[in-house]
Amino acid sequence: MSGENALPDFPPAPPPPPPGPKKRRSPLVLGGMIFAISPLLFSLVASMFSADAFNESTAIGSTPLLMILTFPIGVVIVIVGLAAGARDMGNRNH
């Protein structure tokens, strides 16, 4: 194909990254986030099956109040996971 209808040449694709060890994230970060909001996730799933899932006078409706306990614990778990990941990254550089 030549002439005016030809597409302009695009630059070549960048080279692939060099092979090396894959970075593994700590499962504590994702686990901590899920644990922190697990009562809310439970209520959202329960709301598909129950009409009064967010009515606080029912047992299912009061489960988001459990976030008073799970959220701070989940945040601590996330911080521990991030610190462990940072420590591992520091050890790889030496």
Write down the residue that tokens 């988001």 correspond to.
64
Query: DSSP of 40-65, one letter per residue?
Result: HHHHHHHTTT-TTTT-TTSTTTTGGG
pLDDT (tens digit, 9 = 90+) per residue, 20-61?
666 666 789 999 999 999 999 998 888 888 887 778 888 888
> DSSP state, 3?
S
Overall size of the chain counted in residues: 94
The whole-number pLDDT of residue 18 equals: 76
Specify if 17 maps to a domain: no
Whether pLDDT at 90 is above 80: no
Specify if 77 maps to a domain: yes
Contact 35, 77 (CB under 8 A): yes
Whether pLDDT at 71 is above 90: yes
Specify if 20 maps to a domain: no
Structural domain boundaries enclosing 81:
27-93
